[in-house]
Structure 1
Amino acid sequence: MTQKFWIGVVAGDHAKIAVENRVCAFSHGKQSAVDKLSVGDPFIYYAPKSGIGEGATIQAFVALGTVTSNAPYQRKWAHTGFTAWVHDAGYEDIREVPTKPMLEDLSFITNPRYWGMAFRRGLFQIEQQDFEVIAKAMRK
Protein backbone atom coordinates (compact mmCIF):
# COMPACT_ATOMS: atom_id res chain seq x y z
CA MET A 1 0.00 0.00 0.00
CA THR A 2 1.26 3.48 -0.84
CA GLN A 3 2.18 5.68 2.08
CA LYS A 4 0.11 8.85 2.44
CA PHE A 5 1.00 12.00 4.37
CA TRP A 6 -1.54 13.85 6.50
CA ILE A 7 -2.28 16.95 8.54
CA GLY A 8 -4.86 16.74 11.28
CA VAL A 9 -6.33 19.92 12.74
CA VAL A 10 -6.93 19.55 16.47
CA ALA A 11 -7.02 21.61 19.63
CA GLY A 12 -3.62 21.80 21.28
CA ASP A 13 -4.98 20.16 24.44
CA HIS A 14 -6.29 17.24 22.39
CA ALA A 15 -2.94 16.81 20.63
CA LYS A 16 -1.23 16.51 24.03
CA ILE A 17 -3.73 13.87 25.14
CA ALA A 18 -3.22 11.91 21.91
CA VAL A 19 0.57 11.97 22.30
CA GLU A 20 0.38 10.93 25.97
CA ASN A 21 -1.92 8.01 25.08
CA ARG A 22 -0.07 7.07 21.88
CA VAL A 23 -3.18 7.28 19.70
CA CYS A 24 -4.42 9.58 16.96
CA ALA A 25 -7.93 10.82 16.25
CA PHE A 26 -9.27 13.34 13.76
CA SER A 27 -12.47 15.26 12.97
CA HIS A 28 -13.83 15.02 16.51
CA GLY A 29 -13.26 11.27 16.70
CA LYS A 30 -15.18 10.31 13.56
CA GLN A 31 -14.55 6.85 12.14
CA SER A 32 -14.64 8.16 8.57
CA ALA A 33 -11.54 10.24 9.29
CA VAL A 34 -9.34 7.53 10.86
CA ASP A 35 -10.48 5.04 8.21
CA LYS A 36 -8.48 7.09 5.66
CA LEU A 37 -5.18 6.34 7.38
CA SER A 38 -3.17 3.12 7.10
CA VAL A 39 -0.43 1.61 9.21
CA GLY A 40 2.82 3.46 8.47
CA ASP A 41 1.16 6.70 7.39
CA PRO A 42 2.86 9.72 8.96
CA PHE A 43 0.82 12.69 10.14
CA ILE A 44 1.30 16.11 11.69
CA TYR A 45 -1.08 17.78 14.10
CA TYR A 46 -1.75 21.48 13.54
CA ALA A 47 -3.34 23.32 16.48
CA PRO A 48 -5.08 26.65 15.86
CA LYS A 49 -5.92 27.12 19.56
CA SER A 50 -5.40 25.35 22.85
CA GLY A 51 -9.09 24.37 23.13
CA ILE A 52 -11.88 23.62 20.68
CA GLY A 53 -12.77 27.02 19.23
CA GLU A 54 -11.47 28.74 22.34
CA GLY A 55 -8.38 29.15 24.45
CA ALA A 56 -5.00 30.61 23.67
CA THR A 57 -3.99 31.02 20.03
CA ILE A 58 -1.31 28.51 19.04
CA GLN A 59 -1.24 28.39 15.20
CA ALA A 60 1.57 25.85 15.16
CA PHE A 61 2.45 22.32 14.15
CA VAL A 62 2.45 20.57 17.52
CA ALA A 63 2.92 16.81 17.03
CA LEU A 64 4.52 14.44 14.53
CA GLY A 65 3.42 10.83 14.50
CA THR A 66 3.01 7.62 12.54
CA VAL A 67 0.04 5.25 12.53
CA THR A 68 1.06 1.93 14.14
CA SER A 69 -2.21 -0.05 14.13
CA ASN A 70 -3.75 -1.91 11.21
CA ALA A 71 -7.32 -0.90 12.01
CA PRO A 72 -9.01 1.87 14.00
CA TYR A 73 -10.99 1.13 17.13
CA GLN A 74 -13.22 2.98 19.56
CA ARG A 75 -11.78 4.38 22.77
CA LYS A 76 -13.71 5.93 25.63
CA TRP A 77 -11.93 8.71 27.49
CA ALA A 78 -12.39 8.32 31.24
CA HIS A 79 -11.96 12.01 32.01
CA THR A 80 -14.77 13.11 29.65
CA GLY A 81 -16.78 10.00 28.86
CA PHE A 82 -16.36 10.84 25.15
CA THR A 83 -15.89 7.91 22.75
CA ALA A 84 -13.68 8.47 19.71
CA TRP A 85 -12.40 6.36 16.86
CA VAL A 86 -8.61 6.16 17.07
CA HIS A 87 -5.55 4.48 15.63
CA ASP A 88 -2.53 3.58 17.73
CA ALA A 89 0.35 5.91 16.93
CA GLY A 90 4.01 6.46 17.66
CA TYR A 91 5.23 10.01 18.18
CA GLU A 92 8.59 11.69 17.72
CA ASP A 93 10.16 14.01 20.27
CA ILE A 94 9.75 17.33 18.47
CA ARG A 95 9.46 21.04 19.04
CA GLU A 96 6.33 22.99 18.15
CA VAL A 97 6.80 25.08 15.02
CA PRO A 98 4.80 28.23 14.23
CA THR A 99 2.96 27.95 10.93
CA LYS A 100 3.26 31.48 9.56
CA PRO A 101 7.03 31.48 8.86
CA MET A 102 6.68 28.41 6.59
CA LEU A 103 3.68 29.47 4.51
CA GLU A 104 5.71 30.26 1.38
CA ASP A 105 7.32 26.79 1.49
CA LEU A 106 4.08 24.76 1.53
CA SER A 107 2.36 23.88 -1.74
CA PHE A 108 -1.07 23.44 -0.12
CA ILE A 109 -1.07 27.13 0.87
CA THR A 110 -2.29 28.68 -2.36
CA ASN A 111 -2.73 32.22 -1.02
CA PRO A 112 -0.63 33.17 2.03
CA ARG A 113 -2.98 36.06 2.79
CA TYR A 114 -5.77 33.55 3.45
CA TRP A 115 -3.56 30.74 4.73
CA GLY A 116 -6.00 29.72 7.46
CA MET A 117 -8.47 28.40 4.87
CA ALA A 118 -6.21 25.40 4.28
CA PHE A 119 -6.74 24.35 7.90
CA ARG A 120 -10.54 24.53 7.93
CA ARG A 121 -10.70 20.76 7.44
CA GLY A 122 -10.22 18.26 10.25
CA LEU A 123 -7.89 16.02 8.22
CA PHE A 124 -6.31 16.44 4.81
CA GLN A 125 -3.68 14.73 2.72
CA ILE A 126 -0.52 16.62 1.76
CA GLU A 127 2.39 15.99 -0.58
CA GLN A 128 5.46 14.19 0.77
CA GLN A 129 7.59 17.27 0.08
CA ASP A 130 5.33 19.45 2.26
CA PHE A 131 5.45 16.84 5.01
CA GLU A 132 9.24 16.76 4.89
CA VAL A 133 9.49 20.57 5.09
CA ILE A 134 7.35 20.65 8.23
CA ALA A 135 8.90 17.55 9.81
CA LYS A 136 12.43 18.88 9.31
CA ALA A 137 11.52 22.09 11.13
CA MET A 138 9.89 20.14 13.98
CA ARG A 139 12.72 17.71 14.61
CA LYS A 140 15.09 18.91 17.31
Structure 2
Amino acid sequence: MARYWINSISLDHVLLGVEGGFTQAGHGRDTRLRRLSRGDGMVFYSPRTALSTGRRLQQFTALGVVVDDEPYQVEVREGLLHWRRRMTFEQVAPVPVRPLLPVLGFVDDEEHWGLPFRRGLFEVPAGDFNAVAGALRDGAADDAPVIGARA
Protein backbone atom coordinates (compact mmCIF):
# COMPACT_ATOMS: atom_id res chain seq x y z
CA MET A 1 0.00 0.00 0.00
CA ALA A 2 1.32 3.41 -0.97
CA ARG A 3 2.35 5.90 1.66
CA TYR A 4 2.45 9.67 1.29
CA TRP A 5 5.19 12.13 2.05
CA ILE A 6 6.10 15.80 2.07
CA ASN A 7 9.69 16.74 1.31
CA SER A 8 10.74 20.27 2.31
CA ILE A 9 13.32 21.45 -0.22
CA SER A 10 14.23 24.84 -1.68
CA LEU A 11 12.81 25.49 -5.14
CA ASP A 12 16.20 25.39 -6.87
CA HIS A 13 16.76 21.85 -5.55
CA VAL A 14 13.22 20.80 -6.48
CA LEU A 15 13.85 21.94 -10.05
CA LEU A 16 17.12 19.96 -10.21
CA GLY A 17 15.27 16.88 -8.98
CA VAL A 18 12.42 17.29 -11.45
CA GLU A 19 14.89 17.73 -14.31
CA GLY A 20 16.93 14.70 -13.21
CA GLY A 21 14.05 12.48 -12.09
CA PHE A 22 15.14 12.14 -8.45
CA THR A 23 14.73 13.42 -4.92
CA GLN A 24 17.11 13.81 -1.99
CA ALA A 25 16.55 14.42 1.69
CA GLY A 26 18.56 15.14 4.81
CA HIS A 27 21.43 16.90 3.01
CA GLY A 28 22.14 13.82 0.88
CA ARG A 29 21.94 11.19 3.63
CA ASP A 30 20.05 7.96 3.00
CA THR A 31 18.34 7.54 6.39
CA ARG A 32 14.90 8.95 5.54
CA LEU A 33 15.05 7.88 1.91
CA ARG A 34 15.15 4.23 3.06
CA ARG A 35 11.63 4.65 4.47
CA LEU A 36 10.23 5.23 0.97
CA SER A 37 8.81 2.47 -1.24
CA ARG A 38 8.07 2.17 -4.93
CA GLY A 39 4.68 3.79 -5.62
CA ASP A 40 4.78 6.20 -2.67
CA GLY A 41 3.48 9.69 -3.44
CA MET A 42 5.45 12.81 -2.59
CA VAL A 43 4.60 16.50 -2.49
CA PHE A 44 7.40 19.03 -2.36
CA TYR A 45 7.21 22.11 -0.15
CA SER A 46 9.65 24.93 -0.88
CA PRO A 47 10.09 27.44 1.94
CA ARG A 48 12.55 29.48 -0.15
CA THR A 49 13.73 29.83 -3.74
CA ALA A 50 17.28 28.79 -2.71
CA LEU A 51 18.66 27.06 0.36
CA SER A 52 20.04 29.94 2.41
CA THR A 53 20.06 33.03 0.20
CA GLY A 54 16.76 32.67 -1.62
CA ARG A 55 13.67 34.74 -1.10
CA ARG A 56 10.77 33.41 0.95
CA LEU A 57 8.42 31.31 -1.16
CA GLN A 58 6.24 29.10 1.12
CA GLN A 59 4.70 27.09 -1.71
CA PHE A 60 4.01 23.50 -2.61
CA THR A 61 6.04 23.19 -5.79
CA ALA A 62 6.10 19.63 -7.18
CA LEU A 63 4.32 16.29 -7.11
CA GLY A 64 5.81 12.89 -7.85
CA VAL A 65 5.92 9.15 -7.28
CA VAL A 66 8.85 6.98 -6.16
CA VAL A 67 9.78 4.59 -8.98
CA ASP A 68 12.68 2.58 -7.55
CA ASP A 69 13.20 0.09 -4.75
CA GLU A 70 16.31 1.39 -2.99
CA PRO A 71 18.31 4.61 -2.62
CA TYR A 72 21.27 5.03 -4.94
CA GLN A 73 24.39 7.11 -4.53
CA VAL A 74 25.85 9.77 -6.86
CA GLU A 75 28.91 11.95 -6.69
CA VAL A 76 27.64 15.53 -6.71
CA ARG A 77 31.16 16.93 -6.76
CA GLU A 78 34.56 15.39 -6.25
CA GLY A 79 34.55 13.41 -3.02
CA LEU A 80 30.97 14.33 -2.06
CA LEU A 81 28.39 11.55 -2.39
CA HIS A 82 24.63 12.01 -1.97
CA TRP A 83 21.86 9.44 -1.75
CA ARG A 84 18.82 9.79 -4.01
CA ARG A 85 15.57 8.08 -5.01
CA ARG A 86 14.24 7.92 -8.55
CA MET A 87 10.96 9.75 -9.13
CA THR A 88 8.51 10.55 -11.88
CA PHE A 89 6.89 13.96 -11.69
CA GLU A 90 3.51 15.27 -12.78
CA GLN A 91 3.07 18.61 -14.48
CA VAL A 92 1.72 20.91 -11.77
CA ALA A 93 1.59 24.60 -10.88
CA PRO A 94 3.01 25.77 -7.53
CA VAL A 95 0.44 26.81 -4.92
CA PRO A 96 0.82 28.83 -1.71
CA VAL A 97 0.72 26.81 1.49
CA ARG A 98 -1.35 29.23 3.61
CA PRO A 99 -4.77 28.70 1.94
CA LEU A 100 -4.39 24.94 2.46
CA LEU A 101 -3.55 25.11 6.18
CA PRO A 102 -7.15 24.65 7.41
CA VAL A 103 -7.45 21.28 5.62
CA LEU A 104 -4.05 19.85 6.57
CA GLY A 105 -4.41 17.47 9.51
CA PHE A 106 -0.68 17.39 10.27
CA VAL A 107 -0.78 21.13 11.04
CA ASP A 108 -1.89 21.30 14.67
CA ASP A 109 -1.41 25.02 15.18
CA GLU A 110 -1.98 27.43 12.28
CA GLU A 111 -0.02 30.13 14.09
CA HIS A 112 3.08 27.90 14.08
CA TRP A 113 2.23 26.03 10.88
CA GLY A 114 5.81 25.84 9.64
CA LEU A 115 7.08 23.57 12.40
CA PRO A 116 6.17 20.23 10.74
CA PHE A 117 8.01 21.25 7.56
CA ARG A 118 11.28 21.63 9.47
CA ARG A 119 11.49 17.82 9.64
CA GLY A 120 12.44 17.75 5.96
CA LEU A 121 10.97 14.51 4.66
CA PHE A 122 7.95 13.34 6.66
CA GLU A 123 4.93 11.09 6.21
CA VAL A 124 1.42 12.55 5.95
CA PRO A 125 -2.07 11.02 5.85
CA ALA A 126 -3.57 10.23 2.44
CA GLY A 127 -6.20 12.95 2.87
CA ASP A 128 -3.58 15.65 3.39
CA PHE A 129 -1.58 14.42 0.41
CA ASN A 130 -4.68 14.35 -1.80
CA ALA A 131 -5.69 17.88 -0.79
CA VAL A 132 -2.29 19.29 -1.74
CA ALA A 133 -1.98 17.14 -4.88
CA GLY A 134 -5.41 18.31 -6.02
CA ALA A 135 -4.47 21.96 -5.55
CA LEU A 136 -1.22 21.46 -7.50
CA ARG A 137 -3.07 19.72 -10.34
CA ASP A 138 -5.83 22.33 -10.42
CA GLY A 139 -3.26 25.07 -10.88
CA ALA A 140 -1.74 23.28 -13.87
CA ALA A 141 -5.19 22.98 -15.42
CA ASP A 142 -5.62 26.76 -15.13
CA ASP A 143 -2.74 27.47 -17.55
CA ALA A 144 -0.48 28.75 -14.75
CA PRO A 145 3.31 28.30 -15.14
CA VAL A 146 4.05 24.63 -14.48
CA ILE A 147 6.81 22.46 -13.04
CA GLY A 148 7.43 18.86 -14.07
CA ALA A 149 6.28 16.68 -16.92
CA ARG A 150 3.58 14.08 -17.23
CA ALA A 151 4.87 10.51 -17.41
TM-score, normalized by length of structure 1? Answer: 0.94
Residue of structure 2 in register with 1:105 after alignment: 103
Name segments (4+ residues, structure 1) moved above 2 Å. Answer: 80-83
**CA distance in structure 2 between the aligned counterparts of 1:19 and 1:77, rounded to whole angstroms:** 16
Partner of 1:83: 81
Counterpart-to-counterpart distance in 2, 1:15 and 1:71? 20
CA distance in structure 2 between the aligned counterparts of 1:25 and 1:63, rounded to whole angstroms: 13
- Amino acid paired to 1:48: P
Normalising by structure 2, report the TM-score.
0.87
| Runs (5+) with no aligned partner, structure 2 | 141-151
Of residues 112, 116, 139, the one that matches 1:114 is 112
Equivalent of 2:94, from 78, 93, 96?
Answer: 96
Q: Quick one: distance in 2 between partners of 1:54 and 1:109? A: 26
**2:68 is the alignment partner of 1:69:** yes
Tell me the CA shift for residue 30 of structure 1: 1.0
Long gaps (5+) in structure 1? none
Measured in 1, the distance between the counterparts of 2:80 and 2:122 equals 23
Q: How many residues are treated as equivalent by the alignment?
A: 138
Distance change >3 Å, CA 81–CA 9, structure 1 → 2: farther
